[in-house]
Structure 1
Amino acid sequence: MDADAQGAIEQRLADLEAEVARLSARFEEPAPIEPAAEQSSEDPLWFVNELGRRAPGAVMMAGAVETPEGPIRWQYGLYAEKILSEDWSEHARSLEALGHPARLELARQIMRGVHTTAELLQLEHLASSGQLYHHLRQLVSAGWLVSPRRGYYEVPGARVVPLLVLTMIASS
């Protein structure tokens, strides 16, 4: 590789590192988002207003959830510009996995503490063990569930809030 090409690569890498540092600085060590006393009842959009102040143009999902396995504190955000520039078809498989009433009910029951195949087979939405395993495979393949041991399923911590957010969106 000649010196000009090497220099161009090094400059591009430096530019990328600077951009990552700039974006990271916008999200590093944020103070917990808590409504001020005057905001709690007077500002129903306190979260949106705080997000606009801290990261204009960002879209976030966040949650502080108590689960049978323990507390989940999770947040994730991207800039709208980045989301709009991506190929959304890449997300079809993940969303499709949730597109069946039995799979949604499985995910809900697992989040509520029903984890074993024996317990899941008792659910009304399933006519057979074959159906159960088919739906579980779909959810595991899409990353909505994991099976840390045979016959036991759980929602990974990083998927709890997104699953609740998707359900919340669908119900609005």
Structure 2
Amino acid sequence: MDLEQRVAELERRMAELEGVERPAPAVAEGDFWALEGLKAQLAGLQAADGGVLYTGAVRLPTGERYEWQTGALADDLFDRDWSETADSFAALGHPVRLRLLREILGGRRTAASLAELEETGTTGQIYHHLRQLTGAGWLHTTGRGRYEVPAGRVVPLLVMLSAAQP
């Protein structure tokens, strides 16, 4: 099976998993149920070099719910030009931008309400940060002066924050 077929099969299997609603399993220390599931998927694809999977089911403070997962074969990740992701990481590399994302996920969706926050800078600085986040795909506009984190970016953002914890 060539690489394209392996990836297509992995995507098909992941889509099947996304369509099945299951109760969230209890996670105990040492319980690698997600890892074992990934390894089983990869074994079916004969992908000897492995892969990664990240997933999440999240309810925001606003009540919105997001369920999402994705995976990639390790070979594909190592073959990519990682420098193409620099802008996305750079957009998250400023404390004010991270604060704006947290506030937006928490329900502050307008530039005016974000400008009322302490220690986020001037209105011009806030718009600069919002443009950086929008340009990198971490935000999009939903109307005049309104912002939201795209549904497909909520779980990845939380995964990155989780991975960055010491």
Question: Shared fold by TM > 0.5?
Answer: yes
TM category (shorter chain) comes to 0.7 to 0.9
2:73 matches 1:79: yes
In the other structure, the counterpart of 2:51 is 58
Distance 2:73 2:4 in 1: 18
Question: Cα 1:52–1:141, aligned 2, differ >3 Å: closer, same or farther?
Answer: same
Aligned length: 156
TM-score by length of 2: 0.82
Cα displacement (A) at 1:25: 4.6
Instruction: Name whichever structure is richer in helix by fraction.
Output: 1
Q: Deviations over 1:49-97 (max 9, x none)?
A: 2221223522011110112262111001101111011100000001100
Question: Cα 1:164–1:36, aligned 2, differ >3 Å: closer, same or farther?
Answer: closer
SS in 1 for 2:109: coil
In the other structure, the counterpart of 1:130 is 124
Q: Structure 1 vs Structure 2: percent identity of aligned residues?
A: 45
Which consecutive residues of structure 1, in runs of 5 or more, have no partner in the other structure? 1-14
TM-score by length of 1: 0.79
* Maintained 8 Å contact 1:33/1:50: no
| Aligned counterpart in structure 1 of residue 89 of structure 2, from 92, 95, 102 | 95
* Structure exhibiting the larger radius of gyration computed from Cα positions: 1
SS in 2 for 1:108: helix
Cα displacement (A) at 1:28: 4.6
